[in-house]
Structure 1
Amino acid sequence: MGSPRVAVIVRYGLNATAWRARHERGEVADETPYAYHLAEPDLTLEWSVDRPEGRLAHSWRMFVRRVLGFDFVHVWRNRAIIARSDVVWTHTEREHLAVGALKALFPRRYRALTVAQSVWLWDMWAQMSAPRRALFARLLRAQDVEVVLSRVNRDTSSTALPGRRVVRVPFGTHFASQPDPGDDRPSGQTPARVLVIGNDRHRDWPLMARVARRLPDMDFDIISLSEEARGAHWPTNVAVRSIPQREILEHAYTEATVVALPLRPNLHASGCTVAIEAISAGLPVVATDTGGIDEYLEGSGAALVPVGDEDAFVSALASASRATARPDHSVASRRGLSGADYVARLALITHALLANEQIPPDVERFEPPASRAGSPVGQVSR
């Protein structure tokens, strides 16, 4: 019968073919977005594609997205792969709500089960209008399982709309290169170098600017595409730049003394990707304690400070820069934070849905998931 067919619906702009070309050019670390290709051949993946857009088509798609709150036009263009799939994977609510709408409008044609991952949805829920919340609630209740990356998101989702399957799945990503093992001091360089990475809307750039001003003897390396980060008033010991992901993973962490994660209040573990990369590189981390980021940093020796606490952040960075031993970089692999672990969890959920079985508790644990019998996903090196 062959392996189950999965339609992978990612946002417009993450075309898998174009992504592979970027991978071949050395720009990105993984062969496909979020390393979903690691699910093959246990699962047969078919990716969403980006239909080329002129100005009018782009304006129409964005207008519909603003009105509905999700990218229905992009999903509609990919309806054929959804129709012939057994299961749909989506990476954010912008896609899974659109898939839900498609299935609601044409229930006989689109019957695939949905692994519906949400990221920012529950951060925005309280600010939504009542009609939009009602629409989203209907679509969410029709999903087979909602996947979130934070226990805070899981608890918020389950409280807001009880009676559904909501699963917190620890995220996983590509590990970063470690500094030269011959240099056993993370404070080996002078001055200390603080690495700050992120484009997420919940980065607290004003806090970081204030902290940098109070630590003039440290260099701050800000890597971000965020307009807020680029427009902030930074002191002279701060450099703001953007570089390809591959260069970040292979060079930025090796040159750093400590990684900073300044975060605003959020529900979705903002910064978890950087947290995983940093601990995989064996670097100390100072992070704002919000959104469930503590679970990703557990066991790494990271310093967690209260939201907006400038004094605590300054003190923690100064302390981390003086550390005489590196954190244990193996924590990331032992806690199941690789891209292969993340994809294996989604594969386990998928097989459970298709077999109409309970979702195994392995998928929620911060440890390498037990491999499904015969599944190549579970056998990928971590």
Structure 2
Amino acid sequence: MTVQSGGPRSGMNIVFAQGRDVPSWEQRHASGLIPDRWPYGLDGVTRRFQEARAVEVGPLRPLRLLRALLARRERQRDSRQTTISLSWEEDVALRMLEQYPADVALSGVIWATDAPNSMAARLKQRLSRQALRRMSLVWTLSKPQVEIVERWLGAGGPPVRYLRFGVDHEFFAEKPFPSAPMLFSAGGDRDRDPATLFRAIEIVRRERPTIEVMVQSRTLLQPPDGVTVVPYLTHLQLREAYERASVVAIATRPNMHASGMTVSLEAMAVGRPVVITETPGLDDYVQNGETGFLVPCNDDRALASRILTLLEDHDVARAMGGKARERVVASFTSAQMADELAIFAASVSGNSVR
């Protein structure tokens, strides 16, 4: 597969960020090093849209973007000639609009509704809104975010749909539950809350001083004594950490886009229970008391209490992990997510999925 560059094409373009290097991703996937043939499992869209190809955006060209935002949008009526462009998130959608113009455009929305913290962020948010209003359909990975995006885009905006995120359940395969307890945490997006996580771990280690704890994070905060912090893990190392863990814990700040769902689903796919702070939409991914526990944001004591519950009751932790794996396979695989995206594309393009 060759990444195409520049300009519209017939069929479907699945548009990735600059430098994503999908051909290299494919090679590493074939070698068993990473999940999914394309990032986010978007290769699965080709099961329904067989002509779909991966392309990559270049640097943002402001004048071309401005022309694209101001141009009158015209929809091609003959579905046999319809071109479709699809991007995973709004940053890529900006570049997609001016570099891969199409009759039908779709994009995910993740960060755009966050409160901007600088003039540059406010400008970017305004540009993102204008670009997303020109989409044929947008989606969110958090059900409560749908209404927020609808209000933000305003009257005349595109339909907004909820898309269940999914992971490669074959790469993250179920493994026997470990005999020795171990606590693991991973993730570094801007909504992670390492301060609350570290306070919770400190409480856990006071109760269980011999427990092994590993945290993957780039935080500059000082971790509690006895905690191993690594800034980066490969996908293979991440999978191994899930397999060794008996509990996976995640702390996030309040947000609307279900931060932490990727690590949650990957851990659940391996058969491990998750303890995560509850933000809107997380309860679609982690069932409280069934596949893990949801606790309030900024509550280190509640987080520690639920972690200790699972560390101290091996049978409960193993049973929750088994249910977690079943739930991922039933509802949260990357293949299921890609099929839903194909249905979204078909619904606004007039094409029938194959």
Please, what TM-score do these two structures have when normalized by structure 1? 0.74
- Matched letter for residue 148 of structure 1: T
Whether contact under 8 Å (2:212, 2:227) holds in the other structure is: yes
Q: How many residues align?
A: 312
Q: Which runs of 5+ in 2 are unaligned?
A: 1-9, 70-80
- Matched letter for residue 275 of structure 1: S
* Residue equivalent to 1:148: 140
Whether contact under 8 Å (1:270, 1:291) holds in the other structure is: no
* Residue equivalent to 2:271: 282
Deviations 1:160-202 (A, max 9, x none): 223331111011111223232xx5xx6x31xx31110112111
Q: 1:131 to 1:270 in 2, by over 3 A?
A: closer
SS at match of 1:349: helix
**Where do residues 101-140 of structure 1 align in structure 2 (5 Å cutoff)?**
101=98, 110-124=101-115, 133-140=125-132
Deviation at 1:41, TM superposition (A): 4.4
Whether contact under 8 Å (1:39, 1:343) holds in the other structure is: yes
Q: 1:302 to 1:19 in 2, by over 3 A?
A: same
Deviations 1:62-121 (A, max 9, x none): 8x68xx9xxx9xxxxxxxxxxx97111101111112333558xxxxxx333111111111
Deviations 1:277-316 (A, max 9, x none): 1222221211100142111112743211111001111111
* Residue equivalent to 2:339: 344
% identity of equivalent residues: 23
- Matched letter for residue 171 of structure 1: F
Instruction: Give, in whole Å, the separation in 2 of the partners of 1:130 and 1:261.
Output: 29
Instruction: Give, in whole Å, the separation in 2 of the partners of 1:34 and 1:316.
Output: 30
* Residue equivalent to 1:197: 186
**Where do residues 213-252 of structure 1 align in structure 2 (5 Å cutoff)?**
213-216=202-205, 217=209, 218-224=211-217, 226=218, 228=219, 231-241=220-230, 242-249=232-239, 251-252=240-241
Instruction: Give, in whole Å, the separation in 2 of the partners of 1:133 and 1:24.
Output: 38
Whether contact under 8 Å (1:179, 1:253) holds in the other structure is: no
Q: Which runs of 5+ in 1 are unaligned?
A: 52-60, 73-83, 104-109, 357-371, 376-382
**Where do residues 53-132 of structure 1 align in structure 2 (5 Å cutoff)?**
61=59, 86-101=83-98, 110-124=101-115
Deviation at 1:27, TM superposition (A): 2.5
* From 25, 37, 44, the counterpart of 1:38: 44
* Residue equivalent to 2:311: 321
- After the TM superposition, which of the residue ranges 124-133 and 165-174 deviates more from structure 2? 124-133
2:174 equivalent to 1:168: no
Instruction: Give, in whole Å, the separation in 1 of the partners of 2:185 and 2:175.
Output: 17
Q: Please report the RMSD computed on the Cα atoms of aligned residues, expressed in angstroms.
A: 2.8
- Matched letter for residue 56 of structure 2: V
Deviations 1:119-159 (A, max 9, x none): 11111458667665544333222111111101232121112
Q: 1:179 to 1:25 in 2, by over 3 A?
A: closer
* Residue equivalent to 2:261: 272
Whether contact under 8 Å (1:178, 1:281) holds in the other structure is: yes
